[in-house]
Chain A
């Protein structure tokens, strides 16, 4: 099922009643989610991504704008008539019911012709449980399950009524690091097997990048950029998107373009064409540094962290906005740790420049 958001806006009255101005949680969203895709809503906490999810589920009413499932306008439909499955951040499994009873719960709500027989219900529940691989645990209570198992039960409960859209609110945030890796693969697999259009919310860019077909990067209720994860990573439209995506984070420098050259501090890093003269933000991905004896980028070497597959060089540069910068280079390159300086050349496709005021991306051509 395709999901279309048109000028979707949600404003809340301010918590502090003395302040008249409303809080804009979601600001004029226009976005279309193609059928059968896994979409990650990504942004720092408080950026309105959970509100967006609640608007799609119907738990919140939009202040303005419309929501379409396929061609059907569902803006004014109550949640129960939208056919969405929602997995809550804390799973919201009913603690007094067993796993089986939890999964059966949505089916038992159905009325009239839509209501399956008891045998059909059990069959559907077993099917959903099998899909998320919890069929062994049907008689347990939620309190007797691990976090990962609870998560699976919650997904089974959301899937059992074959929803048109599956919504996941921070599905991995309550799991430990190892389970998180495993569970995100699981979510990907379940989504592939069922083919249900899935929207999930996360503040973890790695999580979103790794499993999504599409990501939507949000900040303060405004969509910053949408696209395939790699595209957004390679072509960020502004400084926020560039800094939000990627681990280790991108290195940001105060730069200046003068005479067709980008200067960071004293170093003339790159000759370029097409960028206006003046002060800019220059951002370089950690993998954009290449060790080079005569490289233009001259840093003070702090330390070298060898991590098997690759080497992380921690250095300092006067133009950097952070105290130190981090470069990831292949482990085959040996860094002379006795030296106090280290010099890099910069890969042009890993360097972005942004307007100093608007922080919008400035396109350029490296020479």
Chain B
């Protein structure tokens, strides 16, 4: 018994070591930082221990702006991207000719660099002295007025942001859903056909329940991913997100650490833990809902 326990720990050692050093220890440190008031990284000194960092962050208008932006992105992009991905994958699995070509095309954004994609979006949406950008040309063509999507009003920037996020997360979801759709046993469809089930009913009563675990997986990971949004914002609006009013929670954490006003690991840690609390709550709710509907 002793012997085998020792062996088990020996096998676990590499994983335990790496996870401990690079995950558990930093996590614990973050929690400690977040409660240390007035931490100075140069002198390694603190004034005291308490909740001041949280209070500061929660009263910081930049943080509140970041929370608002993050929530808007999450609430819009997760349902829209999952719904769109479902539509596209159902479409993909019902076409026969050139299916592989379409699948490749839809998957391309996934393997494309975020910043390169951001550049393309700039060309599409940015208004410069020389041109109003592709999208504005279209708007003008239909008789609308040019909008500055990158440096203009908040709703326009948010629109580009959401559009971009949806477009970026779509391929992975399509990939997952097409394989989920393909894994549904054909005999269920045959059974439904013999029983005269309409296409819509087959989709809602058979296909959807069959792939619902995958849909819930995508929603949960989608929420988590969207809450952690940062690089996409940088790709579109540059590093000074606070000035653009497009910062996200992760962006705020980064700014607190390394940004212009950086060097505040305590505030960054507090903000990160607040984000953690939000994501944990939402994920728990998601799991509860998915378990209920599975029953």
Task: Give every chain B residue within 8 A of A90 (Cβ-Cβ).
Answer: 185, 187
Q: How far is the CB of A328 from chain B (nearest CB, A)?
A: 40
On chain A, which size bracket covers the interface?
20 to 34
Query: Interface digits, B189-210 against A, CB 8 Å rule (1 contact, 0 not)?
Result: 0111111111001000110011
Considering the chains assembled together, what is the distance between the CA atoms of A81 and B193 in angstroms? Answer: 10
With beta carbons under 8 angstroms apart, the residue of B185, B195, B198, B209 that contacts A106 is B195
Task: Find residues 67-86 in chain A having any chain B CB closer than 8 Å to their own CB.
Answer: 78-81, 84-86
CB closest residue in chain A, given B294:
A96
The yes or no answer to A361 lying at the interface (CB within 8 A) is no
Let me know if B187 and A109 touch, CB within 8 A.
Answer: no
- Say whether, besides A94-B206, A96-B209, A110 and B196 are in contact (CB < 8 Å): yes
Let me know if A31 is at the binding interface, CB within 8 A: no
Select which of B185, B201, B209 is within 8 A of A109 by beta carbon.
Answer: B201
How many B residues are at the interface, by size bracket?
10 to 19
For chain A residues 50-95, which have a beta carbon within 8 Å of chain B?
A: 57-59, 78-81, 84-86, 88, 90, 92, 94-95
Q: Which of A79, A95, A96, A110 contacts B193 (CB 8 A)?
A: A79
- Pick from B191, B195, B209, B210: contact of A161, CB below 8 A: B195
Q: Which residue of A lies closest to B188 (CB)?
A: A92
Cβ-based interface call for A105 (8 A): yes
Min Cβ gap A158→B in Å is 8
For B210, list chain A residues within 8 Å (CB): 95-96
Interface string of B113-153 (1 = CB under 8 A from A): 00000000000000000000000000000000000000000
Provided the pairs A92-B188, A94-B188 are in contact, do residues A84 and B194 lie with their beta carbons within 8 angstroms?
yes
User: Do B194 and A57 touch (CB < 8 A)?
Assistant: yes
Q: Is the CB of B195 within 8 A of A105?
A: yes
Which residues does chain B contribute within 8 Å of A161, judged by CB atoms? 195
Please encode chain B, from 205 to 223, with 1 for each CB lying within 8 Å of some chain A CB and 0 for all others.
1100110100000000000
On chain A, the residues within 8 Å of B212 by CB distance are 96
Q: Is the CB of A80 within 8 A of B206?
A: no
Q: Would you give the shortest CB distance from A297 to chain B, in whole angstroms? A: 50
Q: Which of B185, B191, B194, B205 contacts A58 (CB 8 A)?
A: B194
Q: A92-B185, A94-B206, A96-B209 are in contact. Are A86 and B191 (CB under 8 A)?
A: yes
From residue B100, how far is it (CB to closest CB) to chain A in Å?
16
Residues of B within 8 A of A59 (CB): 190, 193-194
On whether the beta carbons of B198 and A109 are closer than 8 Å, the reply is yes
Q: Which residue of A lies closest to B185 (CB)?
A: A92
Q: Is A92 in contact with B191, judged by CB distance below 8 angstroms? A: yes
- The answer for the CA separation of A263 and B198 in the assembled complex, in Å, is 66
* Max chain A Cβ within 10 angstroms of own Cβ: one of B188, B191, B198, B212: B191
Instruction: Please tell me if the beta carbons of B187 and A88 are within 8 angstroms of each other in the complex.
Output: yes
Give the distance in Å from the alpha carbon of A163 to the alpha carbon of B197 in the complex: 15
A79 and B205 alpha carbons, distance in the complex (Å): 19
Chain B residues near A79 (CB-CB < 8 A): 193-194, 196
Nearest residue, chain A, Cβ from B196: A80
Cβ-closest 5 pairs across A and B: A80-B196, A106-B195, A92-B191, A96-B209, A92-B187
Interface of A with B (CB < 8 Å)? 57-59, 78-81, 84-86, 88, 90, 92, 94-96, 105-106, 108-110, 157, 161
What are 9 A-B pairs with beta-carbon distances under 8 A? A58-B194, A59-B194, A80-B193, A80-B195, A86-B191, A86-B194, A96-B212, A105-B205, A106-B196
